[in-house]
Structure 1
Amino acid sequence: MSQDGNQDNSKINDVDVADSEETTIKKPRTDVSEPISINSTTNAEPSGRPLPMFVAGASPNKYLTLDQFKEFQQMNDELKNMAIAHEISLDPNFSIEGLKEKSSTQLSKQVEEMGKKAFYDILRERLAEDPPNYTPFFSLYAELKDLALEASTAASAKIFDNFDPEEPKRQQENNCLDMVGLVHAFVDKLGKICAPIRDSQVAKLKKENDLVNLFSGVHTLLDDMKHDMLNFTVKANRHQILQHSVQMESQQFLKLLKFSPHLANETRAWLAEATAEYQSKLPPDQPMPSKITEKQLTQILAIGYARLLDGKRTGDLFPETLKYDILRVEKLWKEKFRLVICLTSVFIASNLAGKQVCEETDFKKRLKNNLLALLQDVDESKLKEALETVFLECDRQLKTSLGDKWNETFSALLKRQIIAVENESNPVRRIVEDRMFSIISTILTGPQAMKDQGSRLPPGLSLIEEELVALISQYLPVTFHNSRSFCQFYTATINEHLHHQSSPQKPSTSQ
């Protein structure tokens, strides 16, 4: 605004913004207030005065309606189901027991154990009364059939048709109560329909004569049978669950984005980085199209997935579309880091050992196996001390292989070179990382890409071929499922990024 404009405004507005609250409220909304000088070099409020409401705007209170609350609640339930379906899809050894183990905390386990102990202690107190109080046991016995039906198929459930929940009361009325015998008879029925793996539990319960221990064991057996039934159902329907999971994850993610578009910010940034790296590898005469093809999407995603194993995008920086797999990816990038440090150290030691030692003995393989054992729990935070141990092992192996030819001068040189591996820019470490990224991204692109490369590993990686295959084999199901679930979103996001990239920047209107 010009200086003249400021003077005009000050004439129009005779009332200062800093006047009393009463004066400010009485001012007409059409008044133009005196401009406030804002110092751009500081974050402090100008002149100690807060910005007026018409400048900063109000922050009105927002409340969830009942319908919105129900929608959020429903979405939360759907996300929980989606997480379970995702685990089933990616884990061929998925089990209900494993799911409970992952979702339970140490505290929740302790609380559950304490609750069970208190429950059975109360039962034991009732049984110790004179005469014994069997009333709570009558209720527990009556519930057994319903619990058994939850752990049975429709066909096997017929075995409980003759179960009489009132039998204990009838026996007590006739002074012939045999609770242990009744529960043993029920256990016998369970033994006829449970999985063979539960036979030992059934046999143990048939010998148990302590009523409280007997009920405790039956409840445990019924829980295990229920898990067996659920695990069987999951395995029988795994293919259908996989198909459903792909659709569910895509739909739920898009639904979440409608509520909060910023939830995909890290995914967009991750895709932008992968796209930029893909573009940098294109020949100068091959410009990037405004819309990518399916093949280009596969190549960009392969770069993105391979870069996640560098361990740079962790925590809040991890792509939102892969959040369910963050623990899997974290485990794999730690394994890759271990392989990088191991192979880098082997390269350094082999260079000092010489061609004859490396080619005529199993020096490299033996050293690799020993180093992998030493680097079992290594990560960036422990690397410095781990490299000291790596040096000692390399030094020992070189002394064994070279004998008197290995002296203190070579040992000091080896130590300097091994310790230098801590630096991410170390040239030998960079070579290993680049070669590993190359083969991982190539395999993730697909069989044709590997065939085009001649189905060969980059130089030096054959030493860790077995470990590398194991790592990629664990990663492939994750990337395959993720690309199937979010391919449409990824395509749209990359195309949008390319559109913004190619659009000419609007000239600034500020003077």
Structure 2
Amino acid sequence: MSGERSEPQDTGGPARIRTTSECSMASDDGAASGFTGRRIFPTYFLADDKRQRTTSQTFMVASGLTAASPPKFVSLEEIMHAANGMRDMNLVHQIVVDENFRLEKAEPEANTVQKVIKDTMHKAFWDVLREELAEDPPCYNQAFVLLEEIKQGLFDLLLPQHTKIKQQISEVLDIPLIKQQAEKGILDFNYYANYIISFMAKMCAQVRDEKIQQLRETTDIIEVYKDILETIELMLLDMANFTLQMIKPDIINHSVELEREKFSKYLAVQPDGLQHTRNWLLRHIDTTKPVPNDVEYEKFIRDCSKKAFTSACIELLDWDRNLPYPETFVLDEDRLYDLQIRTFQLYAVATVLLVTLSNAGADLQSISAFKQSLKAHITILLQNVKNEKDLKGVLPNVAEQVLSDLKEAQQKYDLSGTSPENEAALKALIIDIAKEDHKIRGIVKQRVKDFYLDIIESATAAPQKVPTGLTAFQKELTGIAGQFLRIVSHNSTVFCIYYFDIIAAALPKPSST
């Protein structure tokens, strides 16, 4: 680092990452790490950690320990060892499957006891500092604590080999010397603030330049030091994320072996650790169909496994959350649920838009600005919809908004208005979308699923054609499909050996020739 600017870089790879694997079912693509600050520096957490189960919850679900009658007794040591393995696997897994994974500053939830305590303690610290500096003569007890914290924060920004720079910092921020200056009444607190800011300006990423400039322009010494601490926290976070991006390729390269190893240890203490995976996978294959005698048996099983797996993955986008997920997807439950909600919202928004445009008249159908505005308004109204019940409750409001947009567009483009009868009919059509057997919604749903299936079945990274009638949703479709592909591809590479064995055991053996 040595005075040079190191900037965090986005080195996230493409959605599909090919690796050499034991089977040819799919490609690969792994988890997260926590980062804890020291003293009054913050704790860091995963960007999507709010939706993650705790380690113990994940393991309890994955291992089946919540069952009323476990099939055998296992020692506490075995359970803890497997639990730690699941935790380690989760750490690696999250980095691999989340293309935008990054560490973020942990903040307590608003209006919580933790938030109140933190804010109170921080306010008390700065209030004491302000009162001590206002005394005559000034008292610097709190200031010495603050300077020691900042000194350690600057050290944390350096690498171990930066001994000369650390020595320079120690010579300037020499606490015993500063105490002597305070005793003699010659301590210049602003001098040290300017030195620290100048050093930070050399070390920070370009994205923090504006923050550094604000520091230079702040005149209140208390606010200066408060902002210095906050900026050092951000710089530490920048460095952590930069380091993570640098080692991410290595993490990805080793993630498959690590996850397989940890999962095998989990299976060692769980007699039937693939029960839900087996049930889920076998729903998508005909186990009564005989194996042809004129084909290579292993290749046939491998092809059947791949076909059953990709079909079964699409089922995960309609998963009943009251049922346990396949054990091989336990680490992705929350990510899959998020994709499931976004896909459900996509079905609803697309259906409302198609129904509206088909009844709005040819003139409005050809106006791109109207379609984009209508889509945006529908999306906002449906952004909190998660299931059929939510959809049914909000569609009347959606219908009112659609009619309002129609009238506004007709006036704007000087088009003839819609009769009250047609308005009522359109409103009824939109409300009818809540029916689970709604034909247009069913068509949209099938086209979206077929698109996802084409994506994960594709042996290449070739572009896929956007489904007919859904070109307005290309961004949403590709965004969801890309994240889904990363999860499915990595899972396939890690667990393909188990899927192969499940299918091989379920299919009849070829007759002898």
Question: TM-score scaled to structure 2, two decimals?
Answer: 0.67
Distance 1:386 1:121, change over 3 A: same
Of 267, 277, 282, the match for 1:257: 267
Aligned to 2:307: 299
8 Å contact from structure 2 (residues 108, 114) kept in 1: no
SS at match of 1:274: coil
SS at match of 2:383: coil
**% identical equivalent positions:** 28
Alignment partners' CA distance in 2, 1:189 and 1:386: 55
Aligned to 1:484: 493
Aligned to 1:134: 140
Equivalent AA in structure 1 for residue 494 of structure 2: S
8 Å contact from structure 1 (residues 246, 485) kept in 2: yes
Deviation at 1:207, TM superposition (A): 5.5
Alignment partners' CA distance in 1, 2:422 and 2:292: 46
Alignment partners' CA distance in 2, 1:297 and 1:202: 56
8 Å contact from structure 2 (residues 325, 333) kept in 1: yes
Deviations 1:281-340 (A, max 9, x none): 999999997986444333222212222222x33265333433443333233222222232
Alignment partners' CA distance in 1, 2:148 and 2:391: 61
Alignment partners' CA distance in 2, 1:286 and 1:353: 58
Aligned to 2:237: 227
Alignment partners' CA distance in 2, 1:281 and 1:357: 54
Structure 2 alignment gaps of length 5 or more:
1-68
1:443 aligns with 2:462: no
Deviation at 1:239, TM superposition (A): 1.0
1:217 aligns with 2:227: yes
Deviations 1:37-75 (A, max 9, x none): xxxxxxxxxxxxxxxxxxxxx99xx8966x558746xx4
Distance 1:388 1:108, change over 3 A: same
Aligned to 2:42: none
Aligned to 1:431: 443
What number of residue pairs does the alignment pair up?
A: 431
- Larger relative CO (CA 8 A, sep 6+): 1 or 2? 2
1:339 aligns with 2:346: yes
Equivalent AA in structure 1 for residue 452 of structure 2: I
Deviation at 1:383, TM superposition (A): 1.4
8 Å contact from structure 2 (residues 304, 503) kept in 1: no
Distance 1:268 1:125, change over 3 A: farther
1:319 aligns with 2:319: no
Aligned to 1:11: none
8 Å contact from structure 1 (residues 151, 229) kept in 2: yes
Aligned to 2:10: none
Alignment partners' CA distance in 2, 1:121 and 1:69: 49
Aligned to 2:247: 237
Alignment partners' CA distance in 1, 2:225 and 2:365: 67
SS at match of 1:97: strand
Deviation at 1:233, TM superposition (A): 0.8
Alignment partners' CA distance in 2, 1:241 and 1:117: 41
Equivalent AA in structure 2 for residue 481 of structure 1: H
8 Å contact from structure 1 (residues 180, 209) kept in 2: no
8 Å contact from structure 1 (residues 442, 450) kept in 2: no
Q: How does 1:271-286 map to 2 (within 5 A)?
A: 271-275=281-285
Alignment partners' CA distance in 2, 1:240 and 1:382: 43
Equivalent AA in structure 2 for residue 434 of structure 1: Q
Q: How does 1:163-174 map to 2 (within 5 A)?
A: 163-164=170-171, 165=174, 166-172=176-182, 174=184
SS at match of 2:385: coil
Deviation at 1:97, TM superposition (A): 1.6
8 Å contact from structure 2 (residues 86, 266) kept in 1: no
Alignment partners' CA distance in 1, 2:459 and 2:494: 21
Deviations 1:141-178 (A, max 9, x none): 34544332211234655323132332213324555333
Aligned to 1:116: 122
Aligned to 1:471: 480
Question: TM-score scaled to structure 1, two decimals?
Answer: 0.68
Distance 1:374 1:285, change over 3 A: farther
